[in-house]
Amino acid sequence: MTHLLSKEELISFEEDIANCFNKAMIKAPIHLYNGNEENIIKVFEKINENDWVLCSWRSHYQCLLKGVPPDKLKKDILEGRSISLCYSEYKILSSGIVTGVVPIALGIAFDIKRKNEVNKVYCFMGDMTSETGIVHECIKYSQNHKLPIHFIIEDNSLSVCTDTKKTWGLDRLTYENTNDDYITYYRYNSAKYPHAGSGKRIQF
């Protein structure tokens, strides 16, 4: 287990960032979490200091739970780095590119296995990301080669403003409700904030 913050601490961090954004103190995109606090805290109960965590454009919660000091994180967000926060010293990497981190996560897990090390990779992604071709390939490869990796699929049912299931003509997502050695799936309602921004200034 790494640095567990409470649900309330996570929510108030994002509210502080939303206020800063509304006051035009941040001149770059931000993506705020809400509604998944209990789920993500539960996932982090299994994550150790030596494990790698890979994230998307929305990664404030993971950074806090991996041990990045809140003041340092806030400073970096205010300087415009929210969309791609990377702290190799805390073993956490993010990318603003849909699927960007998934093959990187696989590569790190492959390296860990080859060196017979004991740590693991945790790779977070949204519902739309989980339906892409490269993610299907990475999950298949990881399972078949028994790589030390775990994928977390956070389903808010949306890709920006687009309905993910409708896009693909699916009744259910490929990994919907899958909870096994390789995948944790959870559904959450992200309606408090828009996809990007905080709902007052720029939003989309």
Q: Which residues bind Mg ion (CB under 5 A)?
A: 126-127, 156, 158
Query: How far is it, in rounded angstroms, from Cα 9 to Cα 2?
Result: 15
Stretch that binds ligand TPP, among 38-46, 120-128, 171-179, 180-188 (CB under 6 A): 120-128
Q: How far is the CB of 58 from ligand TPP (least distance, A)?
A: 6
- Give one DSSP letter per residue of 70-127, joined into a string: HHHHHHHHHTT-GGG--BGGGTEEE-SSTTTTHHHHHHHHHHHHHTT----EEEEEET
148 binds, among ligand TPP, Mg ion, none (CB under 5 to 8 A by kind): none
**Interface with ligand TPP includes 40 (CB under 6 A)?**
no
Residues 6+ apart with CB under 8 A from 1: 44, 45, 46, 47, 48
Q: How far is CA 22 from the centre of its chain?
A: 23
- Identify which of residues 51 and 127 has a Cβ nearer to Mg ion in the complex: 127
Q: How far is CA 116 from the centre of its chain?
A: 26
Question: Would you say 186 and 154 are in contact if contact means Cβ atoms under 8 Å apart?
Answer: yes
Query: How far is it, in rounded angstroms, from Cα 52 to Cα 181?
Result: 16
Find the binding residues for ligand TPP in span 59-98 (CB under 6 A). 96-98
- Identify which of residues 2 and 36 has a Cβ nearer to ligand TPP in the complex: 36
Q: How far is the CB of 159 from Mg ion (least distance, A)?
A: 5
Q: How far is the CB of 128 from Mg ion (least distance, A)?
A: 5
Q: How far is the CB of 85 from Mg ion (least distance, A)?
A: 19
Interacting residue ranges for ligand TPP, rule: CB under 6 A: 57-58, 96-98, 125-129, 154, 156, 158-160, 164, 195
